[in-house]
Amino acid sequence: MTHLKSGIVAVRGARLAALTGTGLVLAACSGAATDDPSVSRAQALESTPVYSYADAIREAVWVETTLDNDGDGKPDKVAVDIVRPRLPAGDTTKVPVILEASPYYSNRGRGNEAELKAYDSSGVIRKMPLYYDNYFVPRGYAFIGVDLAGTNRSTGCLDVGGKEEILATKAVIDWLNGRATARRSNGTAVVADWTTGKVGMIGKSWDGTIANGVAATGVEGLTTIVPIAAISSWYVYVRANGTLRGSNRMSGLATSMSGRPSGVCDAQTRALRTGQEDATGNYNDFYAARDYIPDVSKVRASVFVVHGLNDWNVTPHQFGPWWSALAARNVPRKIWLPQVAHVDPFDFRRTEWVNTLHRWFDHWLLGLDNGIMQEPMAAVERAPGTWVDDAVWPAQGVHTESLPLGIGDGQTGTLGGLPSSTDAPLRTFTDVPSLTEASATSSPNTAKNGRLVFLSQKLSRAIRMSGAAQVKLRIRSNKPTSELTARLVDYGSASRNLSYRSGTDGIVNLTTSSCWGESSSGDDACYTDTKLDVANTDYGVITRGWLDAAHRDSLRNPSSLNSSTWYDVVVPLDVDDAVIDAGHVLGLVLVASDRDLTAPQTTGATIDVDLAASALRLPIVDLGATSVSARAVLAPAEDPALLVAPRIHAPPPADWPDSFDPTATFY
């Protein structure tokens, strides 16, 4: 690929062919340029920039909804800013839409540079954040930036992933397909007669979350979604299996992002504060209304997931169950799994991302047979900057290995070794609330209060895990409950992305920039270049997991522990894909409270662990080795739930009903 002076990406050796009846100029097969009508859409390779961005039509409309959650007696309206190609006179070409719905357009901004929407004196969009409009509008797409209800120029109130935000955004797609009403600022009704009605939603974090939620409504016209670091269950965003990840997260988000006058949304904020139920950690109807996975059977759109495996904000457990549910329904899908944290792929793999996204939209919104769906489903970053393609994800050949927890030497236990017959297979630890992750995971052979460490032998060959691991424990506690935290650690020197420990999310800005699309006097297409934040470290945390022990069997109905009773519990670890190199040691670190990534209600519990009934279950892909240690006890692969990142202890069946209760079994 080459960069033209305008910043537009072009393909070497491509010819331009005007396709009769489409009004689009598309890169097609080799040869001289021609107007031959026999060149079909199916023969085209990709859309190319033939429309002027500087001369694009820019307009604003307000789409009417059937909602009124601000209680003013008027239907809530969502503001829609549009940038679309200006066609030559007499050209009746209709264009598809790329849509991003966001609460951030007027406050925190979008992208690495926190760009905000900017308007001219008449209230028409002058600068649209990010590069989507700069790059895709010249290629025959419209770009739409939707202000979520209650933000910027929309009415209504934020309900943080609830029906207001989802249905109001759905109404925009309905308008694009002639099923809803929109008006200009002067009250004049306006019809979207310029679009094909095909819509692709995209966005990072909250924006991608809305894409997931709208797709789960089954709205007609939504053809594809590209959720980046997105939420599929808001319960999982504020909780981790009954543990509290942060207080007042839902009400706090609504308050900080609101664009409405003071007092207008107080009732909605109170409802959020009550519904989030911070005092219990329970899953309830409030969270069920913000859980999109039970409605996966309604999804009509293809899905391109991107999620950082070290995302400590929107954790990988958000994409895992969603991905598994899509797979059970055979939804067309693709996935990228980088090592960074909460980062847009534009800022860690820019050229490959723009090229792939371009081809994805060309296929799903323009119908171009460019072969992208015949390519590998998954791209996984094995090491910083080193990517490997996989035909499917989780990887082919993945199976479950169950590694027992051995008694060890009194300071560290063994991982993959049977407990000694001469020692009582029992280890005990007490909650130390001040214990940080850095302290808990460092110096694994040194005794430290508040933790248990189990170590494998040095690996004779590299192994790969792909999917969701679990820690099965038989415990006894002297308190009615306790948080349980598990970390899987790769002990061994390696170059690693510093996405969590450095606080950079895994990238750092450079002093250069690159351009991706065309610029106008008010909206440039150039963005700061970045590089991965990488260093050689002695060890790295692969994945983490949490459980409030009282929620061991149900998230809706917790039950206290009896101090004289042993209980079987499962701590699910976040979904991951990682290679542990030969010569490294695989470690399992158990503590109670996690002061770094949760806001635990510390009980000070002392916890006994029955090693003979406890194990680490790993979804393993053989890389020439059959086990992680010579003494490993292998379990048959009868537990496919471990391989597909479950939210329950069994994968959803093929006839998964729409009314499926995700809390019927453990979440």
Task: Please tell me the number of Cα atoms within 13 Å of 9 on its side-chain side.
Answer: 21
The answer to whether the CB of 453 falls within 8 A of the CB of 406 is: no
Q: What is the dihedral of CA 245, 247, 250, 256, to 10 degrees?
A: -120
Q: Which of 526, 528, 522, 517 is nearest to 143 (CA)?
A: 517
Beta strands in 125-268 (DSSP E): 125-127, 142-147, 182-183, 189-190, 195-204, 222-228, 239-240, 243-244
Query: Which residues, in sequence order, are bridge partners of residue 252?
Result: none
Helix axes 266-275, 249-257, angle to 10 degrees: 160
Q: How many CB atoms lie within 10 A of CB 371?
A: 10
**Cis previous bond, 332, omega within 30:** no
Q: Rounded to whole angstroms, how far apart are CA atoms 318 and 235?
A: 10
Residue 16 is classified by DSSP as E
Q: Which long-range contacts (CB under 8 A, 24 or more apart) does 188-195 make?
A: 190/61, 194/84, 194/94, 194/95, 194/142, 195/94, 195/95, 195/96, 195/97, 195/142
The answer to whether the CB of 46 falls within 8 A of the CB of 127 is: no
Phi, psi of 549 (to 5 degrees): -60, -30
- The catalytic position among 342, 358, 363, 399 is 342
Q: Rounded to whole angstroms, how far apart are CA atoms 639 and 651?
A: 9
Question: Measured on CA atoms in the order 497, 597, 610, 450, is the torsion positive or negative?
Answer: positive
Tokens of 529: 């270049």
- The catalytic position among 147, 159, 278, 311 is 311
Q: Is 76 a catalytic residue?
A: no
Distance of CA 119 to the CA centre of its chain: 31
Q: Is 185 a catalytic residue?
A: no
Q: Is 342 a catalytic residue?
A: yes
DSSP string, 599-634: -------EEEEEGGG-EEEEEEE-SS-SSSSTTPPP
Q: How many CB atoms lie within 10 A of CB 656?
A: 16
Tokens of 315: 């954790």
- The catalytic position among 154, 205, 233, 466 is 205
Q: Rounded to whole angstroms, how far apart are CA atoms 26 and 153?
A: 36
The answer to whether the CB of 41 falls within 8 A of the CB of 368 is: yes
Tell me which residues are annotated as active site: 205, 311, 342
